């Protein structure tokens, strides 16, 4: 058994069942698919491997095929010899593929028909492999699985910064015109106290951290640090609980130690309530978690990078 992924990340535990075989003396990818009723492939893909395949098709009739509840148009049977390469001896089998006209694929699909016929077993224990027939010691490997990364994840850092700066200009609940300006009373190199690692967090706290971080990312209150951005000061965060509700809190005590304090009178609550009672418009704020946004100047954002365990 492998470690269970975090909540909402179950799909990351998946892997592929694609292996490399030899067809017509060329290495080709093949998917071992127990969920497929029969071995098949698409017309467009087969045309790239065997341009004159239409002259080699065997007739097929008397059966209809469906893929994901959609009817498929079968063209015929394409018979081919497949070689499974192995260091201890290759294995050669002959496979009949059903060629579909309206089927999109980028590899040959070996379906349940030939998996049963040749006793091909897929193993998903500590080491993933498959065996063919009675020889369980001859293990065949799957190709390494490369997860596709969305364009958003690999977008250049400057595009993320442009989006972040644009959204900052129209943030809900932001106090504009009174940006926070942080001035440190020390110079580089900064002391180790300002580069703290993330605090340990239990499973419950990690789940709460993920939820809080996602909310703040969606609200464009925070953004992810780019891989090429310099990070000299990091602030760990904790999760505070109140009546079952979680709250995202940064431990800025170390940063406050080296920050020149602002000098302004703290407003009295009675004066603030009196002013609110006479107001026509009230700024938006998160009533549940009780915060509003103090916008930080771009120059000072490097001091407020947080670090978490997720």
Mean pLDDT of 34-45: 83
User: What pLDDT score was predicted for residue 236?
Assistant: 92
User: What pLDDT score was predicted for residue 156?
Assistant: 55
Give the gyration radius of the chain's Cα atoms.
30
Alpha carbon of 119 to those of 113, 116, 138: distances in Å? 10, 5, 13
Gap between the Cα atoms of 176 and 47, Å rounded: 61
Mean pLDDT of 88-96: 80
Confidence of residue 20 (pLDDT cuts 50, 70, 90): confident
Domain borders along the chain are 10-140, 157-307
- Class of 157-307 in CATH: alpha beta
The CATH code belonging to domain 10-140 is: 2.40.70.10
The conformation of residue 30, written as its DSSP 8-state character, comes to E
- Could you please report the per-residue DSSP string of 166-201? HHHTT-TTEEEEEEE---BSS-SSPPGGGBPPPPP-
Answer whether 96's CB lies under 8 Å from 27's CB.
Answer: no
- The predicted model scores a pTM of 0.43
User: What pLDDT score was predicted for residue 15?
Assistant: 76
Answer whether 21's CB lies under 8 Å from 93's CB.
Answer: no
Backbone φ and ψ for 120, nearest 5 degrees, come out as -85, 120
Instruction: Give the pLDDT confidence of 130-155 residue by residue, as tens digits.
Output: 888 888 888 888 877 554 444 444 44
- Could you please report the per-residue DSSP string of 72-106? E-EEEEEEEEEEE--TT--EEEEEEEEEETT---S
Instruction: Give the pLDDT confidence of 219-253 residue by residue, as tens digits.
Output: 777 888 876 778 889 999 988 888 888 888 889 89
User: Comparing 125 with 240, which gets the higher pLDDT?
Assistant: 240
Task: Please return the burial class of 109, using the count of CB atoms within 10 Å of its CB with bins 0-12, 13-18 and 19+.
Answer: buried
Gap between the Cα atoms of 132 and 120, Å rounded: 4
- Please check the confidence at residue 287 and state whether its pLDDT lies above 80: no
User: What pLDDT score was predicted for residue 75?
Assistant: 85
Assign 240 to helix, strand or coil. strand
Residue 213, C-beta contacts closer than 8 angstroms, at least 6 positions apart = 222, 248, 308, 310
User: What pLDDT score was predicted for residue 3?
Assistant: 62
Gap between the Cα atoms of 224 and 299, Å rounded: 17
User: Comparing 96 with 103, which gets the higher pLDDT?
Assistant: 96
- Please check the confidence at residue 26 and state whether its pLDDT lies above 70: yes
Confidence of residue 108 (pLDDT cuts 50, 70, 90): confident
Ranked by mean pLDDT, which of 96-105, 160-169, 220-229 comes out on top?
A: 96-105
Is the dihedral angle over the CA atoms 69, 75, 81, 82 positive or is it negative?
Answer: negative
Residue 254, C-beta contacts closer than 8 angstroms, at least 6 positions apart = 193, 194, 196, 235
Instruction: Give the pLDDT confidence of 74-89 residue by residue, as tens digits.
Output: 888 888 888 887 766 7
User: What pLDDT score was predicted for residue 179?
Assistant: 74
User: What pLDDT score was predicted for residue 150?
Assistant: 45
* Mean predicted lDDT score pLDDT of the chain: 77
């Amino acid at each position: 058994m492998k470690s269970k992924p975090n909540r909402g990340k179950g799909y990351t535990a998946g892997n592929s069942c694609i292996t490399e075989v030899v067809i017509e003396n060329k290495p080709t990818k093949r998917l071992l698919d127990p969920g497929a009723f029969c071995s098949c492939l698409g017309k467009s893909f087969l045309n790239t491997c065997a341009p004159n395949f239409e002259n080699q098709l065997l007739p097929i009739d008397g059966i209809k095929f469906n893929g994901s509840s959609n009817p498929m148009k079968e063209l015929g049977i394409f018979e081919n010899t497949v070689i499974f390469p192995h260091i201890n001896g290759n294995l050669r089998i002959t496979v009949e593929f059903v060629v579909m006209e309206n089927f999109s694929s980028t590899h040959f699909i070996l379906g349940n028909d030939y998996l049963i016929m040749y006793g091909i077993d897929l193993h998903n224990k500590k080491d993933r492999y498959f065996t063919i027939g009675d020889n369980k010691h001859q293990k065949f490997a799957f190709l390494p699985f490369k997860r596709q990364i969305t364009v958003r994840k690999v977008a250049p850092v400057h595009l993320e910064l442009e989006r972040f700066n644009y959204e900052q200009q129209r943030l809900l609940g932001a106090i504009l015109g009174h940006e926070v300006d942080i001035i440190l009373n020390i110079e580089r190199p900064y002391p180790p106290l300002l580069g703290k690692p993330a605090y340990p967090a239990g499973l419950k706290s990690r789940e709460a951290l993920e939820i809080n971080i996602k909310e703040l990312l969606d609200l464009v209150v925070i953004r992810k640090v780019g891989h090429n951005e310099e990070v000299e000061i990091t602030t760990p965060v904790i999760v505070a609980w109140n009546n079952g509700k979680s709250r995202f809190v940064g431990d800025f005590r170390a940063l406050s130690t080296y920050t020149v304090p602002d000098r302004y009178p703290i407003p009295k609550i009675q004066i603030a309530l009196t002013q609110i009672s006479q107001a026509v418009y009230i700024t938006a704020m998160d009533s549940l978690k009780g915060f509003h946004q103090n916008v930080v100047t771009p120059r000072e954002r490097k001091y407020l990078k947080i670090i978490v365990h997720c």
